[in-house]
Amino acid sequence: MFEASKMMRTNYMLERSLDVESLRRNVIANNIANVDVPHFKRSEVNFESELTRVIREKEDETNRLPALMTDSRHLPFYVERDIRGVRPRVNLDYNTTYRNDGNNVDIEKEIVDAQKNQMRYNAAVTVLNQNYKMLKIAMRIA
């Protein structure tokens, strides 16, 4: 019961965001390390858009069409997805080229992304610490 609460769902999302920000930091570091490699294509992590889509689907009931499934081989029209099933994806950017050698890493953008990544990581750690403190207080009272 407690595991299905909003607080534990929030904690799960914060823990997952820490994992994603760590992965994103590694991808950014790889992009920066290969800034001078000819024909290197930068990578980026996609997680937030998929997470937002799953959350909106959960809140929006109008997209669900009932399906009459009279056989076990029938496919449902709508399959509800859980937040825990959302995984980060590392995508390569093949479409852009910034230099004549085919490399598409913009070092200034990567440095800004690294700073944004660090701020998001620090914010998630702070909120997660606060949630654990509140949980500790609630356990002392009970």
pLDDT in tens, 12-49: 889 999 999 999 999 999 999 999 999 999 999 999 88
pLDDT at 43: 95
Integer Cα distance of 139 and 42 in angstroms: 46
pTM (predicted TM-score): 0.79
Integer Cα distance of 129 and 29 in angstroms: 27
Name which of 39, 69, 57, 52 is nearest 13 in CA terms: 52
pLDDT in tens, 58-104: 777 666 667 778 888 887 777 777 778 889 999 998 888 778 888 99
Please provide residue 120's backbone torsions phi and psi, each rounded to the nearest 5 degrees: -65, -40
